[in-house]
Amino acid sequence: MWRQRQGTQDGKQPPEGAPTIASPLTSTIVALLPGKQAPIPSDLDIPRIIMPTTSHPLRQLAQTDRSRLLSNLPPYTISSALSPSNISANRYRDVVPYDSSLLPGPYLNASLLAPFPHTPPASSSTLASSTVKGTQPRFIASQAPTPSTFAHFYHHLYEQDVAVLVNLTPEIERGRKKADRYYPTRADDQEHADAVLQVEGWQVRCRDQHALNGGNVVVRTLDLVPTPSTANGDAAMPTPKVIRQIHLSHWPDHGILPPADMEWLIDLIHDHVGSTSSPSAAYPDGRPIWVHCSAGIGRSGTVIACLTAKHLLSPSPSSSSSAPAATATTSNPVTDEGIDDLPLRLVAWMRHFRPGMVQTEEQFDSIVAFVEALRQKRTPSAQ
């Protein structure tokens, strides 16, 4: 069902160990590594950024990423990610967040994206501390958290008041670890028992899960709560945050989904955002949607681009009962004349906040196809 990246003429992925074309971004980030760095996992030698062909629109964006990193000027510095105390927290050595888009608090390889088409100010102030108005959806893109960063991951989920968490990667793919399980699951014989995971001052409870689309997608309802410290053992348990996790485990790394599957997935996420992601004190226009895959750039970027396009181009969003509270109106409508370059503008927007978003030509082309399908559905009145 799930189509993999076309690495050979028959559409199959190249065999394990086949050469890949690394982007200049890989060597650029590696060159910026401090001389005395902390140990990093062995699988970080695999290039994560694939260089587009000369004629593809992604190529210029890849060169722009490289120029920004080489400039080492705000808002495109990456000193936090490469500091000796943080470098081992990165799953891949060439996928790192800009300092300006980091979440406030403990370091995590995650990036807060301002609403489209906002771009960051040319200053050292972080995006998270700036005030961004608007009714476009907000996103956080991250790598799959490593065991050493689970506590930081939970902290940010809690503090950012995330209601919908999208997981786009399996734990193991083609013999390689792509993610670590940060959530409990309910076994078949535990239908009526909540599964609980305790990690460094946090408790994660899975109180419901159900499979969709033939088991390719699992939707879990998670309760996340900080546990009282030993010194405050008699204190009341803090209020849990309820998070809806949508887990797609059959999308291959560097791959794409068939158009019908992509449309189904985006509709599913959109519906869950509409039912759970109400405004909060921190985000009066709507709570952020957290999306991660393995590295947090390819599949994550593709889904974020498609979700944003759906918000911009779906007909009559204000009259839809399933429209997210954060997106009840469209503050930046896209005209038909602006649809043609919308995919490129979406990727360029995301790369202002996280380099390398949307990894492959096929992923970009799938965004183009998704946008074109939305164009066809636009009502005559919207044209």
Low-confidence winner among 248-252, 317-321, 333-337, 364-368 (lowest mean pLDDT): 317-321
> How sure is the predictor about 354, in pLDDT bands with cuts at 50, 70 and 90?
very high
Record the tokens describing residue 349, joined without a space: 């927007």
Low-confidence winner among 56-60, 119-123, 329-333 (lowest mean pLDDT): 329-333
Record the tokens describing residue 129, joined without a space: 């501390």
The reported pLDDT for the residue numbered 124 is 44
> How sure is the predictor about 166, in pLDDT bands with cuts at 50, 70 and 90?
very high
Q: What percent of the chain has pLDDT over 90?
A: 51
Cα–Cα distance between 112 and 87 in angstroms, integer?
A: 19
What are 199-227's pLDDT values in tens digits? 989 999 999 999 998 889 999 999 999 98
Low-confidence winner among 48-62, 72-86, 251-265 (lowest mean pLDDT): 48-62
Burial 55-83 (b: 16+ CB within 10 A, else e): eebbeebbeebbebbeeeebbbbbebbbe
Cα–Cα distance between 139 and 288 in angstroms, integer?
A: 5
Chain-centroid distance, C-alpha 105: 19
> How sure is the predictor about 198, in pLDDT bands with cuts at 50, 70 and 90?
very high
Specify the residue for token string 């501390």.
129
Please check the confidence at residue 114 and state whether its pLDDT lies above 50. yes
Low-confidence winner among 4-18, 20-34, 103-117 (lowest mean pLDDT): 4-18
SS (H, E, C) 167-220: ECCCCEECCEECCCCCCCCCCHHHCCCCEEEEECCEEEEEEEEEEEHHHCEEEE
Query: For the residues 252-273, what does the mean pLDDT come to?
Result: 90
Beta strands in the chain (DSSP E): 110-113, 139-142, 164-167, 172-173, 176-177, 195-199, 202-212, 217-226, 241-248, 289-292
Query: For the residues 292-307, what does the mean pLDDT come to?
Result: 97
> How sure is the predictor about 100, in pLDDT bands with cuts at 50, 70 and 90?
very high
Which domains are assigned to the chain?
A: 24-124+135-172+194-229+237-327+338-382 (3.90.190.10)
Neighbours of 315 (CB within 10 A): 14
Query: Of residues 257 and 80, which shows the higher confidence score?
Result: 80
Contact 299, 48 (CB under 8 A): no
Query: Of residues 332 and 154, which shows the higher confidence score?
Result: 154
Query: Of residues 4 and 128, which shows the higher confidence score?
Result: 128
Q: What is the mean pLDDT of the chain?
A: 78
The reported pLDDT for the residue numbered 18 is 31
Cα–Cα distance between 372 and 381 in angstroms, integer?
A: 18
Cα–Cα distance between 59 and 343 in angstroms, integer?
A: 14
SS3 at position 39: coil
The reported pLDDT for the residue numbered 314 is 78
Contact 129, 252 (CB under 8 A): no
The reported pLDDT for the residue numbered 39 is 41
What are 17-31's pLDDT values in tens digits? 333 334 455 556 656
The reported pLDDT for the residue numbered 234 is 58
Please check the confidence at residue 54 and state whether its pLDDT lies above 60. yes
Record the tokens describing residue 316, joined without a space: 């009559």
